[in-house]
Structure 1
Amino acid sequence: MIKYIKSILATLKQLRRLHKFSRDIIHGSFQFTAVLYAFAGIIYMVAPSTPDYIKSVSYYQAALEIAPVILAGGIVAALLSDLVLRKIKPDEKPSDQDKKDR
Structure 2
Amino acid sequence: MSTALPAGVTRLPRADARRRIEALRREIRGHDHLYYELDRPVLSDAEYDRQLCELKRLEGLYRELVTPDSPTQRPGSKLEKARALGITLLTEDEFRKLVQA
Report the TM-score, using the length of structure 2 for normalisation.
0.37
Q: Which structure carries more relative contact order (alpha carbon 8 Å, separation 6+)?
A: 1
The two structures have a TM-score, normalised by structure 1, of: 0.36
User: Which has the larger Rg?
Assistant: 1
